[in-house]
Structure 1
Amino acid sequence: MRSLVQDLRYALRQLLKSPGFAATAILSLACGIAATSAVFSVVWGVVMNPYPYAAPDRMVHFALGGATAGGYYPVQLTSTQWQQLRQVPAIEDTILLSFKRMTITGSDLPEDVQGSQMSANSFNFFGVPALLGRELLPSDAIDGHDPQPVVVLSYKFWQRRFNGDPTIIGKIIQLDHQPYSVVGVTAKRFTWSDADVYLPMKIVPGTDSNEVEARLKPGVSHHLAEQQMQGLITQFEKETPRNFPVNPGPLTVIGLNDQFMKAIGPSLALLFGAVLLLLAIGCGNVSILLLARGVAREHEFAVRAAIGASRVRIVRQLLTEALLLSITGAALGVLLAYKLLAGIVALLPEYSFPHEAAFAINLPVLCFSVTVALLTGILFGLWPALRLSRPDVREAMQTGTRKVAGTVSGRTLHNALIAGQIALTLLLLSAAGAAVQSFLKLAHTRLGYDPHHTMSIGIPLRESAYSTLTARLAYVELLRNKVAEIPGVNMVAISANATPPNNGLNTPIELLGQPSSQDRTARLNFVSEGYFPLLKISLLQGRLWTEAENHNANTVAIINQTLAHKYFPNGDAIGHSIQMVALKNAPPYVTTQPHAGDWLQIIGVIEDKLDDGLKNPVVPEAFVPYPLAMWQYTQFLVRTDGSPTAMLHTIAQQIASIDHDQQIGAQVRDLDHWISTQPEYAQGQLLSWLFAGFAILALLLAAVGLYSVVSYTVSQRTNEFGIRMALGAPRSSVLELVVRSATTSVGMGVALGVLLSILLQKSLAHWATSTDQSAGPLLIAVAILASVVLVASGIPARRATQVEPMEALRYE
């Protein structure tokens, strides 16, 4: 124990004598470990521990394939069908859920509240105890009876609305003018459906449809569950066709985390690969520095061996110094990881990860970081320790011998380490360049509409207050006109489901005079006549419908250029008629005009705008007057003179002047921000920012490593350079000699890096849609790396030419 303390004290003194070496080694490790720890924390949160629920690996969603933009349509069942589903052998338990927009009343302005009505067994199903009070109990919602007026608040809503008041239990809050007693507050990580409040659901036989969640029995595969349930789902489709989409496709059982892994998994895999490269570069830097420092101390070890120091003591001393460096680097890296983690989480696409996920530098992450640090210290400290623990005492004591040329094996190893470091850095630089290039291309995609100075405001409509279509239309028109009166508001249009760049309801369409085809589909949008001029969408043929035609819900349609070219290749779309199958068999939550399913006459063709995300090609779409069909939720597009969101409070007051209980949607964004929240945009931004940051760090580490090696070479060959110049060699030849020795290892590294980049290019394109396959990023990466290499090697090389021959010959 005493000798260990002595080793630690001696190691600390040695490091303090060489602050530049110590700082460089510690920062090299800290950067690699900080990035690795932060990304590993995100991976752990999304992949390893995303949910606090009971047996989340067996919790599943039920969906019908190929009916929506995302490829799935959620299964919705009546309470009677749900009871039948509970008898399926593969299912251990299942719950019924219904999303409901509510309003907190009794305050100055109504507040939009996201409510989730749940069957009485739901909280037992989730298995997450409440933070305060209790959860919903089966006695709160007895089948066939009205549920108790109780509510459980979500943790975030409790914090936001009630400032985390611990005495909230038992208090009364008003939701839609009805009093509810607060019986509990959920745990912090219980965020199911991102609801603000959870209420008991009334279970009565009927045709109302609700979403279903289930937990499979242990050992039951998704495929087996699909086989057992498919017949029952087919039966339900025949019983309640309005609750199912047209051509619903087969049943698909989806794991709780499957869709999130599909959305963010490839990006996380790429980021984790990038930080492992960065960590390898950092560790390589430490190894280069340790080797250079060890060889420079060869004379010291020879002296120590000559006076009786054992090989074990020398090895232990060197390992102590290496471990001290690595553990210090790991500690600093973990501290830096906290800041980096917050930045990465802020860049994650909003709906690409479970909101229950807890992103933190937790125990597994700390263990990972400490393990990496220890392995780094052992692996990169052991080799020079073993090599230098048996010095050739006679040769090392002959001062000057090692300074003439150094050892061939030492220079070979340094060259190999530099080549590997350069190769990994080039690989990371080329990947970063591809990600940035792809993101810039995405950011400058032609939209086909003008999003500036425009925001989308959600308007939830209360079914109890505006239950008929006539009342609902009159109310929406009144609200729109009232908002249009506000000074600074240029235009207001209605966009029920048509806010780009990802919009519309997928539906099969029929063309008058042509046979039916299930492959003929289009995106259906419900808008007012002002939608097109507000977004500055160009009209190519025909005309727009008038305000009177909109008010009367005329059976007219405007189609985009893609639909016109695809189904009317002769350019004669104007005057033809189409029929929207979705309007003939509208779901129960949509109120339609009696003639909504009739043939719609095409009166105009507009220029294409993005309607299927930022990366996908434009798909056929059609626009119809919004009074043909209305949901309980619509949207206003508002164009203003200045920043639209700055007028949000004024707009809310204006709407409340019509109906004090009318709230606006909780999430209001201007369309520029709306674009930035698209998954492909957010993922591209995440990859480009982080890859660029990691690549810059890798470049700096590689430059430091190269500078260290060239400086080490210059110091080791001081005598040689003095002799050359004393014999008449020009300083330029010495400069060339130093640069050429560095160029060999750098050239090997560049060649290897280019080969790796080419080999991995296809894999990168497969794993991440935000990378580019052109040669441009690779060429730019080579140019940047070459410039940095010239600077890093040129500075010590120039220093070598400043050596005075007589001083070099006397140098010890």
Structure 2
Amino acid sequence: MKVLLQDVRYSLRQLVKSPGFSITAILSLACGIAATSAVFSVIWAVLMNPYPYANADRMVHINLRGARPGGEQGFGTTASQWQQFRKNPAIEDAIITDDWSLTVTGQDIPEDVSGCFMSSNGFDFFGVAPALGRNFEPSDAIDGQEPSPVVVLSYKFWQRHYNSDPSIIGKTIEMVRKPYTVIGVAAPRFTWNDSDVYVPLKITQETAHAYDLEARLKPGVSHAIAEQQLQGMVTQFAKDSPTHYPLKPGPVLVQGLNDMFLEQIGGTLAMLFGAVLLLLAIGCGNVSILLLARGTAREHEFALRAAIGASRWRIMRQLLTESLILSLTGAALGVLLAIKLLAVIVALLPDGAFPHEAVIAINLPVLVFSVVVAIATGIVFGMMPALRLSRPDVREAMQAGSRKVAGSVSGKATSNALIGAQIALTLLMMAVAGDAVQGFMKLLQRPLGYNPHNVMSVGIPVHENTHKTIAERTAFFEALLEKTEQTPGVQMATISTNATPPSNGSKLEFEIMGQPSAAGQPIWVNWVGEGYFPVLQIALSQGRFWTRTETHNAAKVAVINRTMADKYFPHGDALGHFIRVSAQKAEPPFFLTADGADSWLQIVGVMADKLNNGLRKPVTSEIFIPYTLAEPMHTQILVRAAGSPLPMIHSIGQQVQTVDADQQISGRIFDLDHWIQREPEYAQGQLVSWLFGAFAALALLLAAVGLYSVVSYTVAQRTNEFGIRMALGALHADVLGLVFRSMTVSVGGGVAVGVLLALSLHKLLAHLSSDTEQGYLALLLAIVVLTTVALVASGIPARRAVKIEPMEALRYE
């Protein structure tokens, strides 16, 4: 221990004597460890420890396979079917839930509250103890009876609405004019469905309403076995209640809780983790280069220590101690930087691409990871210079005036190899960053087909057991629209039940009169008001849009988009044809239809295409129908203003309240620009391009520092040589050429290897993430930028070399 402390003290003195070297090495490691720790924090939270639930690895979603990967189909489950699910041999337990918007009154306008109605076994199913009070008990919701008026608050709602008051248990909260007794506050990480409150679900045998089902498999039951054992049951349920299933149900698909998130963001996180590992390797390469170069200046010291009896292991231990001190210091600084970087990454993560139960933070596993990385880098990248410098040539090193590039030919080769590797990895990072930025820019430049600026979508969640007839609901929606239009600052407004782009519509089947081949084909169906098209400034291609009178009268008219017109009416004769949408049938009170809603609709107009299937996918066929033909319980009002419409939210809420004192507007309202930014393609593209761009810039800086360090030490070692050459008549250009030629092989070789890596890995990167797009221009630009930076990094110390006077250089020791 005494010897170790002696090594540490000596190492600290040596590092303090060389502040430029120490600071550069520490910052190089800190940048790599900060990026690696931040991305590992996301991976740990999202992929390794996403849920607080007991046996979360056996909890599954039960869906139906779609026609393509990622196109899974959901279905609804009745209460009686839920009980049969619980008896299936593959299932250990299952719950049903239903989401509904509730309100809390007491302010000038009702506050929107997201409610999750859960079967009484819900909290037992999740196995998470409450933060305060208790969870549901079986007696809180007995089948066939009204459930007890009790509620469990979410942790965030408790903090926001009650200021974390611990005495809330036993008090009453009134929601939609009904009192509920608060029996508990959920644990901080219990955020199922992102609900504000959890209420017992009323279990009845009625079949009109369907619920969401979650299940937990028995131990040892794989997803494949569960699919086999559930298939027959689900097939029968689809026959018994076809309205709760897709028109063409696919086979059963059992998915883990995290499978969807893995599919959405797993490839992106893999790319980012690979990028930060490259960045860490570049930073560690810098440290090795600096240690090798610095070791050259200390060869006389090592030779002297060897001459008086120091063993090779003793010298290696001293060098490794210095390396470990650098790496641990870099790790400590890196963790502090990682906290700041992590906040940036979390802000850029797509909102729906990771479970909200996940806690993304610098925690104990991340700290352990950072320390292990620091120790590993200190040993691995400190070992190389330690091995070479621990065997000094005593006779030669003791000779005064002996100067060698990195100490020997092998030392020079090692430095050049490290520089070449840095250049190759940096070029790879820059090329990938260029591809990511190019792909994101292409996404931003794609024509939308509509104008989202200064438009917002205001959700109107209709309360249960209100406006039960189509006439009442139509009158209610029309009154809401009229009041919204009267709000100061509103230029135009319209009803948009389900048609907020760039992803909109309900996928249903349709048929065209006189075209049997079109029957059964899928189409996106949108129920909107006549003002939808002018509010979004969508161009008319043929015919006309319907009028407000036709909307009020539930006229049987339709407008289709250009894609559909070209596909099914290639001769341009779409106007006047008739189309019928299947499944436009009433399911009161959740979905009401006017008389004849499922009859033939006349096509009166063709609109220009707008995005309707995301930001990357091609536009699909879609049809627009007056919303008065079919009205669900939840609708949206699109509002266009002269400027930003968001400041009008409160005023619109007040206007809505004049129609119905209990009617709230949705709690989370965004303008349509933010609807675009919340799309997974946009959010992931922004994440990849921003982070890869930042990491590539940092890698370029580190590579430049490494190259500068090598050239600087090379110039210092060859000062005598340069003095002799200039004394013998060598020109400045000759000396510059010597310096640049010493770096040509390493830089040129690194560029060549980097190009090969970028070209060969593109397919893998494209498989991991659709946000990158290979562009040879980006690769060429990366080569030019990297070569320019390499020339500048080499040129600064080279220029310093030629300014030395020959006589001064000859006397230099």
TM-score (norm 2): 0.98
Note the aligned Cα RMSD (angstroms). Answer: 1.5
Q: Distance in 1 between matches of 2:650 and 2:668?
A: 13
Q: Distance in 2 between matches of 1:404 and 1:507?
A: 74
Q: Residue deviations 1:256-305, cap 9 Å, x none?
A: 11111111111101101100110110111111011111111101111222
- Please name the residue that 2:784 is paired with: 783
- Please name the residue that 2:107 is paired with: 107
Q: Distance in 1 between matches of 2:349 and 2:405?
A: 55
- Please name the residue that 1:614 is paired with: 615
Contact 1:290/1:380, CA 8 A, preserved across alignment: no
CA apart distance, 1:586: 6.0
Q: Distance in 2 between matches of 1:201 and 1:463?
A: 14
Contact 1:403/1:715, CA 8 A, preserved across alignment: no
CA apart distance, 1:742: 1.1
Q: Does 1:550 align with 2:551?
A: yes
Q: Residue deviations 1:757-792, cap 9 Å, x none?
A: 000111111211110112111111111101111110
Contact 1:95/1:122, CA 8 A, preserved across alignment: yes
Q: Distance in 1 between matches of 2:708 and 2:406?
A: 18
Q: Distance in 2 between matches of 1:405 and 1:638?
A: 70
SS at match of 1:254: strand
Q: Does 1:640 align with 2:617?
A: no
- Please name the residue that 1:627 is paired with: 628
Contact 2:405/2:412, CA 8 A, preserved across alignment: no
Segments of structure 2 that go 5 or more residues without pairing to the other structure are none
Structure 1 residues 67 and 211, CA, compared in 2 at 3 Å: closer, same or farther? Answer: farther
CA apart distance, 1:71: 2.0
SS at match of 1:120: coil
- Please name the residue that 2:330 is paired with: 329
- Please name the residue that 1:424 is paired with: 425
Contact 1:404/1:719, CA 8 A, preserved across alignment: no
Q: Distance in 2 between matches of 1:449 and 1:389?
A: 70
CA apart distance, 1:469: 1.5
- Please name the residue that 1:27 is paired with: 27
How many residues end up aligned between the 2 structures? Answer: 812
CA apart distance, 1:658: 2.2
- Please name the residue that 1:500 is paired with: 501
Q: 5 Å matches for 1:181-196? A: 181-196=181-196
Q: Residue deviations 1:416-448, cap 9 Å, x none?
A: 000000000000000001101111111121100
Q: Residue deviations 1:514-573, cap 9 Å, x none?
A: 225566221000000000011110001011111111011111100000000111111110
- Please name the residue that 2:180 is paired with: 180
Structure 1 residues 748 and 766, CA, compared in 2 at 3 Å: closer, same or farther? Answer: same
- Please name the residue that 1:349 is paired with: 350
Contact 1:574/1:602, CA 8 A, preserved across alignment: yes
Q: Distance in 1 between matches of 2:625 and 2:518?
A: 21
Contact 1:459/1:634, CA 8 A, preserved across alignment: yes
Contact 1:403/1:718, CA 8 A, preserved across alignment: no
CA apart distance, 1:641: 1.2
Q: 5 Å matches for 1:393-542? A: 393-403=394-404, 406-515=407-516, 520-542=521-543
Q: Does 1:264 align with 2:265?
A: yes
CA apart distance, 1:175: 0.5
CA apart distance, 1:70: 6.2
Q: Residue deviations 1:776-811, cap 9 Å, x none?
A: 111111111011111100000111111211111111
Greater mean deviation of Cα atoms: 378-387 or 37-46: 378-387
Structure 1 residues 404 and 529, CA, compared in 2 at 3 Å: closer, same or farther? Answer: closer
Contact 2:512/2:518, CA 8 A, preserved across alignment: no
Structure 1 residues 198 and 67, CA, compared in 2 at 3 Å: closer, same or farther? Answer: farther
CA apart distance, 1:382: 2.0
Q: Distance in 1 between matches of 2:98 and 2:271?
A: 37
Greater mean deviation of Cα atoms: 311-320 or 513-522: 513-522
- Please name the residue that 1:58 is paired with: 58
SS at match of 1:733: helix
Contact 1:68/1:506, CA 8 A, preserved across alignment: no
Q: Residue deviations 1:590-613, cap 9 Å, x none?
A: 111121100111000000000000
CA apart distance, 1:64: 2.3
Structure 1 residues 25 and 16, CA, compared in 2 at 3 Å: closer, same or farther? Answer: same
Segments of structure 1 that go 5 or more residues without pairing to the other structure are none
SS at match of 2:73: strand
SS at match of 1:660: coil
- Please name the residue that 1:200 is paired with: 200
CA apart distance, 1:68: 11
- Please name the residue that 1:315 is paired with: 316
Contact 2:501/2:612, CA 8 A, preserved across alignment: yes
Q: Does 1:126 align with 2:143?
A: no
Structure 1 residues 42 and 504, CA, compared in 2 at 3 Å: closer, same or farther? Answer: same
Q: Residue deviations 1:113-158, cap 9 Å, x none?
A: 1111111111000000000111111111111211100000001111
Q: Residue deviations 1:211-233, cap 9 Å, x none?
A: 11100111112121111111111
Amino acid at match of 1:654: Q
Q: Does 1:387 align with 2:381?
A: no
Q: Distance in 1 between matches of 2:179 and 2:204?
A: 22
CA apart distance, 1:308: 3.0
Q: Distance in 1 between matches of 2:445 and 2:406?
A: 55
Contact 1:243/1:588, CA 8 A, preserved across alignment: no
Contact 1:67/1:506, CA 8 A, preserved across alignment: no
Contact 2:586/2:593, CA 8 A, preserved across alignment: no
Structure 1 residues 421 and 391, CA, compared in 2 at 3 Å: closer, same or farther? Answer: same
Contact 2:512/2:519, CA 8 A, preserved across alignment: no
Q: Does 1:300 align with 2:301?
A: yes
Contact 1:152/1:198, CA 8 A, preserved across alignment: yes
Amino acid at match of 2:23: A
Structure 1 residues 181 and 748, CA, compared in 2 at 3 Å: closer, same or farther? Answer: same
Amino acid at match of 1:156: K
Structure 1 residues 176 and 587, CA, compared in 2 at 3 Å: closer, same or farther? Answer: closer
Q: 5 Å matches for 1:133-148? A: 133-148=133-148
Q: Does 1:226 align with 2:227?
A: yes
- Please name the residue that 1:47 is paired with: 47
Q: Distance in 2 between matches of 1:122 and 1:416?
A: 60
SS at match of 1:349: coil
Contact 2:586/2:592, CA 8 A, preserved across alignment: no
Q: Distance in 1 between matches of 2:376 and 2:680?
A: 38
- Please name the residue that 2:570 is paired with: 569
Amino acid at match of 1:811: Y
Q: Percent identity?
A: 63
- Please name the residue that 1:246 is paired with: 247
CA apart distance, 1:105: 2.0
SS at match of 2:801: helix
CA apart distance, 1:307: 2.8
Structure 1 residues 397 and 69, CA, compared in 2 at 3 Å: closer, same or farther? Answer: closer
Contact 1:726/1:805, CA 8 A, preserved across alignment: yes
Amino acid at match of 2:424: A
Q: Distance in 1 between matches of 2:345 and 2:588?
A: 40
Q: Distance in 2 between matches of 1:383 and 1:742?
A: 21
Q: Does 1:581 align with 2:582?
A: yes
Q: Residue deviations 1:326-356, cap 9 Å, x none?
A: 0000111111111111110111001010010
Contact 1:69/1:506, CA 8 A, preserved across alignment: no
